[in-house]
Amino acid sequence: MDDPVDHILAAAPRQPALTIRLATVADLASLLPLVREFHALEQLCVSEEERAAVVQRLLGDPGWGRIWMIFDAGELAGYIAICIGFSIEFLGNDAFIDEFFIRPEARGRGLGTEVLNQVRVAAKELGIHALHLEVARSNTRARKLYGKAQFEAREDYMLMTCLL
């Protein structure tokens, strides 16, 4: 039986150029340059071998989570990865938006908002009760985006949660 979210998510009418597709192991070569670009931006020190191995592991086992590739007018513009966990507080499965990256040239046109909306729907279909993410306190642009998508800062943490 197919997973209900293992399909292409089409954008809402206000973003006709946006499509989001679940990544597979066959997409590893296309996905890794984006992950490398994100890691460089965030100054994350991960070797090429470690990066490839961990992304391949996530792509190969949906029990760990999902990665969706973001396309803008048919061009690969970014990706979003969620990693699945379990929480008593949130009454079952929860997930972290582990990495979310849209290339700079594709930003500022509402893609991030639409991607978050679609991933929230997909996460809910997967039985996930809450999505969490981390954001740098200094990243006011991202904090505004996440707040608009109904993520809320929790007291004393920079962890933001969206109940599903």
Q: What's the pLDDT score for residue 137?
A: 74
Instruction: Give phi and psi for 115, each to the nearest 5.
Output: -60, -45
Question: Domains of the chain, with CATH numbers?
Answer: 9-163 (3.40.630.30)
Instruction: Give phi and psi for 54, each to the nearest 5.
Output: -75, -35
With b for 16 or more beta-carbon neighbours within 10 A and e for fewer, the 57-87 pattern comes to ebbeeeeebbbbbbbbeeebbbbbbbbbeee
Going residue by residue through the chain, which has 164 residues, state the pLDDT in tens, using 9 for 90 and above: 455 454 445 444 445 689 999 999 999 999 999 999 999 998 889 999 999 999 999 999 999 999 999 999 999 999 999 999 999 999 999 999 999 999 999 988 889 989 999 999 999 999 999 999 887 778 888 888 888 888 777 766 555 667 77
Its pTM surpasses 0.85: no
Largest CA distance in the chain: 44
SS3 40: helix
